[in-house]
């Protein structure tokens, strides 16, 4: 989202003000021509009214609102405006008489000026009209201020969100590395050749974690490649009693982009809590890209919760997934987690859908 700066707001306001006043001043030239030519007397009477409106408008817009109203000095603001309106309305009365005395249209002068006997009615009516101009200036000024404050709020919110995302990403790297190294450490003890292969696979994964993770979104195909490499790395240490199923349906030419490592914590948890050393267990990972741009991720696994002493990472991965989904896909995702007991077996299911459009 593009945020307007103060200079852009200023330029837009100046352009709008100039356009409005040019139109207002030009209207009498078109409205007073009734086939007999322009009535300059009527034009200058109208122009004098517009000038008075401008004076009241900009004195409030450029000074009084900032100096008094924004500083909660409402009483002073009203008193000063009341005096200003009376003075300007009186000047409008004399300006009207002066224009009439010039007789710019060359028409016979009336014996008595229209408002000579009722100046208070004329001035009172103009005070009311000028009060509406004050209200207009306050409304426009407050609207411009609200727009600027709202723009700054959005900018600060965006910066806060980006800062929080960077902080989450900085946590993902060591968390991911810690869990992977723990797996390799376990391999070293009973199968050193497999541990060497795991180190080679880890180097491929780290490239994605260290470089691609700096981007807010990465191509889905690249993220799928990372997930496949990670699964193969984890497969090395699985025993024969573990059934590992994967079903990834993403077109090789897909242009969809997604947040990096958004699913990896769930896959890590599946290998951590879904595998038993002496019982039959399974892990089923599915990732599908739908034609409408919705990404569907389903991870099912046997549930063998770790003891408190064996909970490396303290569940930080799931908290990261939840927060990143909230920040990157607000109102565009669903995430459900369920545990179903079937006979003597517990099955944990994590289901995420993300609308990437």
Assess contact for 224 and 248: CB atoms under 8 A. Answer: yes
pLDDT at 83: 92
Q: How far apart are CA 57 and CA 49, in angstroms?
A: 12
Assess contact for 285 and 301: CB atoms under 8 A. Answer: no
pTM above 0.95, yes or no: no
Please report the DSSP string for 110-136 in residue order: PSS-TTSS-HHHHHHHHHHHHHHHHHH
| Cross-sheet strand order for the sheet of 242-249 | 242-249, 281-289, 294-302, 345-355, 333-342
Picking from 159, 162, 213, the residue whose alpha carbon sits closest to that of residue 328 is 162
Mean pLDDT of successive 10-residue stretches along the chain, which has 357 residues: 47 62 58 52 69 85 86 88 88 75 56 54 81 85 81 70 60 63 73 75 71 77 87 81 90 86 86 82 92 91 69 61 86 91 84 91
Picking from 327, 284, 343, the residue whose alpha carbon sits closest to that of residue 157 is 327
pLDDT at 39: 55
pLDDT at 334: 94
Q: How far apart are CA 178 and CA 172, in angstroms?
A: 10
pLDDT at 99: 66
pLDDT at 111: 46
On the CB side of 40, CA atoms within 13 Å amount to 8
């Amino acid at each position: 989202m593009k945020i307007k700066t103060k200079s852009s707001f200023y330029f837009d306001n100046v352009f709008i003000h100039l356009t409005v006043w040019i139109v207002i001043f030009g209207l009498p030239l078109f409205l007073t021509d009734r086939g007999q030519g322009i009535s300059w007397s009527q034009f200058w009477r109208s122009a004098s009214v517009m000038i008075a409106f401008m004076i009241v408008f900009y004195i409030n817009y450029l000074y009084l609102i900032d100096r008094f109203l924004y500083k909660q000095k409402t009483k002073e603001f009203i008193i000063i405006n009341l005096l200003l309106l009376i003075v300007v309305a009186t000047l409008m009365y004399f300006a009207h008489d002066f224009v009439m005395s010039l007789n710019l249209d060359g028409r016979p002068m009336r014996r008595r000026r229209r408002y000579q006997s009722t100046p208070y009615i004329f001035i009172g009516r103009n005070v009311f009209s000028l009060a509406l101009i004050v209200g207009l200036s306050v409304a426009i000024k407050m609207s411009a201020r609200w727009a600027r404050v709202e723009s700054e709020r959005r900018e600060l919110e965006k910066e806060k969100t980006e800062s929080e995302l960077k902080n989450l990403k900085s946590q993902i790297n060591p968390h991911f590395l810690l869990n992977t190294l723990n797996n390799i450490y376990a391999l070293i003890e009973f199968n050193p050749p497999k541990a060497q292969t795991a180190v080679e696979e880890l180097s491929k994964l780290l490239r994605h974690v260290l470089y691609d993770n700096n981007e807010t979104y990465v191509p889905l195909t690249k993220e799928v490649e990372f997930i496949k490499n990670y699964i193969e790395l984890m497969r090395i240490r699985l025993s024969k009693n573990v059934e590992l199923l994967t079903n990834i349906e993403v077109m090789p030419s897909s242009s969809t982009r997604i947040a990096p490592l958004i699913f990896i914590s769930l896959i890590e948890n599946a290998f951590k809590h879904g595998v038993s050393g002496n019982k039959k267990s399974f892990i089923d990972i599915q990732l599908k890209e739908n034609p409408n741009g919705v990404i569907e991720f389903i991870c099912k696994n046997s549930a063998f919760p770790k003891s408190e002493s064996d909970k490396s990472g303290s569940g930080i991965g799931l908290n990261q997934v939840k927060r990143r989904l909230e920040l990157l896909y607000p109102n565009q995702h669903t995430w459900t987690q369920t545990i179903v007991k079937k006979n003597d077996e517990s099955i944990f299911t994590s289901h995420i859908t993300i609308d990437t459009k």
